[in-house]
Amino acid sequence: MDIRAHLIGYPRIGPNRELKRALERAWAGRLETDAFSMRIKELRAAHLAEQREAIGSAVDDYFLYDQVLETAMMLGVAPAEDAGRIGEDPFAVLTALARGTPEREAWE
């Protein structure tokens, strides 16, 4: 019998809070969209590699900020004014829903 283990909910922030720092820089406008996307790809790849090295397999459960909100967005659940923009710029929609904007409060 072949039994495999998976680590669901593996800590994604990084040993030196790399994800937190990248998010904060992006939100502050100090990290361009392309550079942010590249950094997230690097962190995600490292996250998966760590799991594979530790247990031989990995689950891609890497979320940037709020896993419930991001899952809802994956399923197309969002206010009508934002639903059409998810495909264009999912990070901008995530940020607006999670943190709010000057025009509106965060989506709770």
| Lowest mean per-residue pLDDT among 17-21, 69-73, 87-91 | 87-91
The reported pLDDT for the residue numbered 38 is 95
101 and 83 co-located in one domain? yes
Alpha carbon 86 to its chain centroid, in Å, reads: 14
43 and 88 co-located in one domain? no
Cα(57)–Cα(37) distance, rounded to whole angstroms?
Answer: 24
The reported pLDDT for the residue numbered 92 is 87
Helical (H) or strand (E) element with 70: helix 67-74
pLDDT tens per residue, range 80-89: 888 777 778 8
58 and 78 co-located in one domain? no
99 and 54 co-located in one domain? no
**pTM, rounded to two decimals:** 0.76
80 and 105 co-located in one domain? yes
State the residue range of the domain holding 103: 65-108
17 and 51 co-located in one domain? yes
Query: What percent of the chain clears pLDDT 70, i.e. is strictly above it?
Result: 99
19 and 71 co-located in one domain? no
pLDDT tens per residue, range 46-68: 888 888 888 777 776 778 888 88
Q: How many domains, the chain?
A: 2
